[in-house]
Amino acid sequence: MNGTNTPRENSANRPSSPQSYRIALIGNPNTGKTTLFNALTGLNQRVGNYPGVTVERKVGRFTLSDSAVEVIDLPGSYSLAARSPDEMVLNDVLLGKQKGEPPIDLALVIVDASNLRRNLYLLSQILELGLPTVVALNMIDLANAKQWRIDAAGLSNALGVPVVEVCARRNQGVDRLKEAIGESLRTPQQTSYPAPTFPEAFQEGFNQFKTQLEKLEPKENDRLCDIELFHAMIDEGGYIEQRLARRYGMEGGEALRQAREVASQGQSLAAIETKTRYDWIARIIDENLVQPEKAAASFSDRIDRILTHRVWGTLIFLGVMVVIFQSIYSWAMPFMEGIEEGVAFLGAWAGSLLPEGALRSLVVDGAIAGVGAVIVFVPQIAILFLFIAILEDCGYMPRAAYLMDRLLAFCGLSGRSFIPLASSFACAVPGVMATRTIEDRSDRFVTILVAPLMSCSARLPVYLIFIAAFIPSTTILGGWLNLQGITLLAMYLVGVIVAIPVALLLRGFVFRSESSSFMLEMPSYKIPSPRSVALYIFERVMAFLQRAGVIIFCAAIVIWALSYFPRSEAIISSFDAARWQTVASFSIDARPFLAEWNPDRYHFRLSDEELIAVLEEDDALTVFVSEDDASTNDLEAAIAAMWQSHLETVARLNAEEAGELVRNSYLGRMGRWIEPAVAPLGWDWRIGMGAIASFPAREVIIATLGTIFNLADADEDSIDLRNALQNAVREDGRPLFSIAVALSIMVFFALCSQCVSTLAVIRRETNTWRWPIFSFVYMTLLAYLGAMAVYQLASLAGLG
């Protein structure tokens, strides 16, 4: 600035309530900011978004003797120069210009003691805001390990603000930090310190600029404050320059051009700013930091020699990935089965309480099954984020990004996209959520849009049933490869191969930004803090349940309603009649045998219905229906056979009724309505309807096909469903499925966007409906065209 401190312009209208304060936590990335935030606030935190931007807003609370303090965790940044939405929010919150965010009372700046020089850069910019400021000197243990001696008191004098040594990871110094914050809040004073002095020409240019703009009338009466003008001048093409252009129009732009000409003197303004600040930092460091003459190779150096090695590093990386994905499958499995059983139990229990009818079906098949479909993902999400949290916290993630960058640069992405894309093979939901670590907005959005193309675990059941039913299990290449295995691999590759041109097209036409910008810091390795890891997982799981949960739940209910209504009374009563008929004929056939076998129990006074009820309760019958041993006498065998055949008939009638009702439902009608559209894919109305019904989740297709082909309880291992699919015929009598149709269905499900959870998470992560809709439309189009191409080609090849 102009050598002195600029008081905050809006400090006058700050609400002064003595009992509650708002402070902002600011710092470079990788300084332990989140760990300190957690140490300060514990579980008292809320995560949301700033309105209109995809920047996470995290707020926590702690109490000081008599007052409540609200802590706003601002995005990590190296500088106040606003070149991303994150940095713009950072500026606006600090200046009290963020909508819906009252001005803050204090800036808590976290500084990495083991990298003092670079961290003081951001601090030098924050001190110029003139806010009451407290510095938390974190990672003091790492600095000590390097045998650095930092004079915290001297630093405090030189900066004019309190400096508190902390070690957030071990929860050390946090209480002293709170005291210092309380002190500064109660007795706010203007900071006074020898600020960085900018060259004369630079100040001259800035003063001219200020005078010029004071003469202009800004739009929306939003006069830019000195700090904003300062950054607008220096950061060419930054967000604040854009704001200036919007507020002051052409004249503002002209003033800016002139100011830059005067200030720069032929040099780059960024170079002048950084040189001035780093000169100032050098003076402070000279006085307050003693470093050993010869720095020893640190622990991180030695690890990095292996982990960033082209051969060893890559091998270790692959090993880590294998462990993660293995765990997502195997560790999650018992929990997922437990949840499924719990949901089934809950459904049965709720079903037993409610009378048969629409309400019971809504609660059991709609609500409980819908919620179950959501929470069944929780174990996988928790396990993935356990690994991400550990790898992130210990500092491995940037090394993984380094190793993968070359590969992803080919698709117009960067190394940062690797973890989200790889996670999507397990499930796109945590994959999309993991894109938060991507700084670059365009990179992040492209990654979010291609991540669902990776074949997730929900597609596996679909592949498995169709491969088992229609792909011959022949071996090729001398028994080395199985055709079924190759087809499965091909299905996984379809998504990957399609993702490459999609990413390139999105990069080329939709997200055109400074290409391949990829720069990231490789922080020192640290031991992860269990508290931070636990909170990270908790936060991600809750975010998934809250936002995605509501949408999945609603979608599941809509699909349930479409397949349940209208409830045709004609169909139900015709099946009731058939069931009654079955009972009556069973009764006539079985009574003489039953009377002979157990006259006390099966006397003639029983009505037909009572007879069935008693039979159902008869343990003796259950035993020898299941144990078909030699000791069974002829009479018992005959009764058992009759009873068995009766039960089968009833089950068949029930399944036929369910199928008939679905066929007649709104969903069934939709299936028949879209039949012409899906005919080029080789599908009939039943498959089309299955595709519509599986909109909430791909795996629903199996249950739907089961219902349509009149099977009571279908799952992918069911031989019955496999047989039913193989035997299904079209209306003209030809077999419904062929290899071509099976391939067409599999390719459709490989590329389609049939997953409400993913769409809901995309909505949440991009903060707009535009991208989930875009994602759904482009993936459905791709899936349709891909399925059609595969069907037509396969038919030409004689597989139809």
- Please give the residue ranges that form the binding site for other proteins (CB under 8 A): 78-79, 81, 83, 114-118, 121, 235-237, 268, 270-271, 274-275, 278, 294-295, 297, 300-301, 304-305, 308, 398, 401-402, 405-406, 409, 415, 514, 516-523
CB of 161 to other proteins, least distance (A): 21
- Report which of 720, 718, 700 is spatially closest to residue 728, judged by C-alpha positions: 720
CB nearer to other proteins: pick between 55 and 81:
81
Nearer to other proteins, 416 or 686 (CB): 416
- Closer residue to other proteins, CB minimum distance, 92 or 235: 235
CA distances (Å), 189 to each of 106, 130, 556, in order?
A: 11, 9, 57
691: closest CA among 758, 759, 746? 746
Give 289 or 558: the residue with its C-beta nearer to other proteins: 289
Q: How far is the CB of 420 from other proteins (least distance, A)?
A: 18
Give the closest residue to 73 by CA, choosing from 748, 536, 588. 536
By CB atoms closer than 10 A (0-12, 13-18, 19+), residue 340 is: middle
The CB-of-296 to other proteins minimum distance in angstroms stands at 8
- How near is the Cβ of 270 to other proteins at its closest, in Å? 4
Nearer to other proteins, 29 or 249 (CB): 29
Least Cβ distance, residue 146 to other proteins (angstroms)? 9
Please say which residue, 370 or 415, places its beta carbon nearer to other proteins: 415
Give how far Cα 25 sits from Cα of 38, 107, 526, Å: 11, 6, 21
Residue 793: which residues within 8 A CB-CB, separation 6 or more? Answer: none
Q: Going by C-beta distance under 8 Å and a sequence separation of 6 or more, which residues neighbour residue 338?
A: none
Minimum distance, C-beta of residue 407 to other proteins, in the bound complex (Å): 11
Which helix H or strand E contains 48, and what residues bound it?
strand 45-49
* Start-to-end Cα distance in the chain: 75
Question: By the 8 A CB rule, do 116 and 102 touch?
Answer: no
Query: Are 22 and 59 spatial neighbours (Cβ–Cβ below 8 Å)?
Result: no
Closest CA to 62 of 223, 185, 227: 185
Which tokens in the block code for residue 294? 């010869």
Residue 349 makes CB contacts below 8 A (sequence gap 6+) with none
**Minimum CB distance to other proteins, residue 69 (Å):** 30
Return the number of the residue (44 or 276) whose C-beta is nearest other proteins: 276
At its nearest, how many Å lie between other proteins and the CB of residue 137? 15
Least CB distance from residue 148 to other proteins, whole Å?
10
Pairing between β-strand 67-73 and β-strand 163-165 as defined by DSSP bridges: unpaired
Q: Which is nearer to other proteins, 276 or 780 (CB)?
A: 276
**In terms of C-beta density within 10 A (0-12 exposed, 13-18 middle, 19 or more buried), how is residue 286 classed?**
exposed
Q: Side-chain half-sphere of 561: how many Cα atoms within 13 Å? A: 7
- CB 398 to other proteins: min, Å: 6
What are the φ and ψ backbone dihedral angles of 146, each rounded to 5 degrees? -85, 5
DSSP, collapsed to helix, strand or coil, labels residue 111 as strand
Measured from the CB atom, the residue of 403 and 541 that comes closer to other proteins is: 403
CB 144 → other proteins: shortest distance, Å? 14
Instruction: Name the residue type at position 239.
Output: Y
Pick 23 or 122: Cβ nearer other proteins: 122
Give the nearest distance from C-beta 672 to other proteins in angstroms.
55
- Residues linked to residue 27 through DSSP beta bridges, in sequence order: 110
Q: In what side-by-side order are the strands of the sheet with 163-165?
A: 45-49, 56-64, 67-73, 20-27, 106-112, 133-138, 163-165
Cis peptide before 501 (omega within 30 of 0): no
Min CB(523)–other proteins separation in Å: 8
Q: Which is nearer to other proteins, 185 or 285 (CB)?
A: 285
DSSP string across 726-783: HH-B-TTSSBS--HHHHHHHHHHHHH---BHHHHHHHHHHHTSSHHHHHHHHHHHHHH
Nearest Cα to 628, choosing from 650, 648, 652, 644? 644
Between strands 289-290 and 475-476, the pairing is unpaired
Which of residues 495 and 523 has its CB atom nearest to other proteins in the complex?
Answer: 523
Q: For the beta carbon of residue 246, count every other beta carbon within 10 angstroms.
A: 13
What DSSP assignment string belongs to 266-313? TS-HHHHHHHHHHHHHHHHHHHHEE--SSPPPPHHHHHHHHHT-TTHH
Min dist. Cβ of residue 396 to other proteins (A): 13
Judged by beta carbon, residue 280 or residue 564, the one nearer other proteins is 280
Nearer to other proteins, 117 or 770 (CB): 117
281 or 453: whose CB is closer to other proteins? 281
Read off the tokens for 707. Answer: 């219902």
Question: To the nearest whole angstrom, how small is the minimum distance from the Cβ of residue 138 to other proteins?
Answer: 14
Q: Are 561 and 696 in contact (CB under 8 A)?
A: no
Give the residue among 65, 12, 71 at the shortest CA–CA distance from 39. Answer: 71
Q: Please name the amino acid found at residue 676.
A: P
Nearer to other proteins, 45 or 77 (CB): 77
State in angstroms the smallest separation of the CB of 415 from other proteins. Answer: 7
Q: How far is the CB of 150 from other proteins (least distance, A)?
A: 13
C-beta closer to other proteins: residue 428 or 446 = 446
| Residue carrying the six token digits 């008081």 | 7
Helices 269-288, 226-234: axis angle to 10 degrees equals: 110
In angstroms, give the least distance from the CB of 286 to other proteins.
14
- What is d(CA 481, CA 473) in angstroms, rounded to the nearest whole number? 10
Q: Smaller CB distance to other proteins: residue 270 or 625?
A: 270
> φ and ψ at 53, to 5 degrees?
-130, 160
163 close to 172: Cβ distance less than 8 angstroms: no
Half-sphere exposure of 255 (CA within 13 A, CB side): 23
